[in-house]
Amino acid sequence: MSQTPKRSIEIDFFRGFALIAIALDHIPSSVLSHGMLHTFAYCDSAEVFVFMSGYVSAASWLAIAAKKGAYAANQRFWRRGREIYAAYLCTAALMLLSGAAAVALRVDSPLVADSGFLRFVAHPFAMLGNIAVFRDQPYLAGVLPLYVILVLALPVVMPLARRSPDVVLLGSFGIWLGGCWLVDYLPTAPGSNWPFNPLAWQAMFMLGLLCRLYPVPEAFQVSRLGRTLTVLACALVASFAIVRLFIEVDPQPGYMKQNLASLRIVSFAAVAWLAAQAVRLGWIGWLATRLPGVVTVGQQGLVCFVGGALASNTIDTLMRATHANGYLPARLAGDLLAIGALLVLAGGARRWKGERPRVALT
């Protein structure tokens, strides 16, 4: 088990790229989103970000525990849970405001219903209470309750994962296996749901956590078995791409993402193994050093997620209001505006925090 924290620009690059992809994926008229992971795989940027969040959370806990002790590390993650909860409330408010703006501009957009604005108008105080306890999760705010739960559980999971990783892995996938049935018992308001079933998605977070605690040795990656896995991963990625591009071109059913279907896990595992080989060969590091803005987005993950959600809704609403979503140059300009907004926000957040450029621990 690796205990010595090292700095890795690749981790923040992956996180930053995932955040940018998430923002683009939620602009229906986006041009660049057609080149993102969901187009040629059964997984998307959500798996990347949740996996990386587990990886970075484990790295951060180890670094703090090594310097100040386990109690200090636990306290830091309890505070982090409160920070994410505050970000969730902020994002929920922004989603409602986005729906209100679409109504005010008389824009025919699914955002009006997806944002929960109509439910808010009908029962404002009841909905505010439901949002506070996760019974109602407006649109893009729906992933943050998952993070609140996982981050608050980390102080309990980390010691067990360090002692008995097999127990954590089997227990995690046992919960995932029953998650699609247990999700019906989660508190939910009428007309709402948990877009990311925490009982299922915790498995992706735990995989990231365990990969940080027990990284795959480079010697194994270049061994005969490792090379065989690389060939198998290439075959899977190519096969899934052919199916997604030419056979199953329609979006996947919502329940597959909500409950983290096994097909999505297999698809992500193949992509992740190839990404690990790209890191080993230095390709990702080379790319990251030439795109420092993407790395900065990854470093300012929570701020950029909230900002990206607002940027997606704002650009989509403006495109619909101006009837520009049928014009390719306007659609591409919307993509560039979203990316630019995230880069500016990330740089501003870093300067506001008074931090020197740094990268996440791995």
Q: What is the pLDDT of residues 215-225, one digit of tens each?
A: 999 999 999 99
Residue 242 has pLDDT above 70, yes or no: yes
**Domain containing residue 254:** 9-352
In angstroms, the CA 229 to CA 307 distance is 38
CB 288 within 8 A of CB 229: no
- Go through the chain and tell me how many residues it has: 362
Give the pLDDT of residue 318: 94
pLDDT at res. 167: 97
pLDDT band, very low/low/confident/very high, at 353 (cuts 50, 70, 90): confident
pLDDT at 51: 97
pLDDT at 7: 60
Q: What is the pLDDT of residues 135-192, one digit of tens each?
A: 999 999 999 999 999 999 999 999 999 999 999 999 999 999 999 999 999 999 988 8
Residue 2 belongs to some domain of the structure = no
Residue 301 inside a domain? The answer is yes
Whether residue 303 contacts residue 272, with contact meaning beta carbons closer than 8 Å, is answered with no
Look up the pTM and report it.
Answer: 0.93
pLDDT at 252: 74
Q: Which two tokens stand for residue 219?
A: 């010697």
pLDDT band at 355 (very low <50, low <70, confident <90, very high): low
Residue 361, helix vs strand vs coil: strand
Is 113 among the domain residues? yes
Torsion sign over Cα 60, 90, 296, 268: positive
Task: Please write the tens of the pLDDT for every residue from 21-62.
Answer: 999 999 999 999 999 999 999 999 999 999 999 999 999 999
Q: Say which residues have a Cβ less than 8 Å from residue 309's Cβ, sequence separation at least 6.
A: 23, 26, 91, 94, 95, 139, 140, 141
Q: For residue 265, which of 167, 175, 176, 343 has the smallest C-alpha distance?
A: 176
Instruction: Report d(CA 57, CA 146) in Å as an integer.
Output: 14
Burial of 133 (0-12, 13-18, 19+ CB in 10 A): exposed
The dihedral over CA atoms of 287, 293, 298, 301, expressed in degrees to the nearest 10, equals: -170
1 pLDDT above the threshold of 50:
no
Extract the tokens encoding 137. Answer: 């999760």
pLDDT for 255 equals 77
For 286-322, the pLDDT digits (tens) are 999 999 999 999 999 999 999 999 999 999 999 999 9
Q: Residue 360: what pLDDT?
A: 46
243 within 8 A of 199, measured Cβ to Cβ: no
Q: In whole angstroms, give the CA distance from residue 267 to residue 47.
A: 10
Q: Does residue 268 surpass a pLDDT of 80?
A: yes
Task: Supply the pLDDT for residue 192.
Answer: 87
Q: List pLDDT tens digits, range 63-112.
A: 999 999 999 999 999 999 999 999 999 999 999 999 999 999 999 889 99
What is the residue type of 76?
A: R
> What total number of domains does the chain contain?
1
Is residue 226 over pLDDT 50?
yes
pLDDT of residue 4 exceeding 50, the answer is no
Does some domain include residue 215?
Answer: yes
Assess if residue 123 is contained within a domain: yes
Q: What is the C-alpha separation between 110 and 39, in angstroms, rounded?
A: 21
**Residue 80 within a domain:** yes
* Of the candidates 288, 213, 165, the residue with the CA atom closest to the CA atom of residue 63: 213
Please give the mean pLDDT across all residues of the chain: 93
Burial (CB < 10 A; 0-12, 13-18, 19+), residue 338, is buried
Q: Which residue has the tokens 């929920």?
A: 92
In this prediction, residues 112-126 reach a mean pLDDT of: 93
Average pLDDT over residues 199-204: 98
- Is residue 1 in a domain? no
From CA 147, how far away is CA 204, in angstroms rounded? 12
- CA–CA gap between residue 98 and residue 104 (Å, rounded): 10
Q: Is residue 200 part of a domain?
A: yes
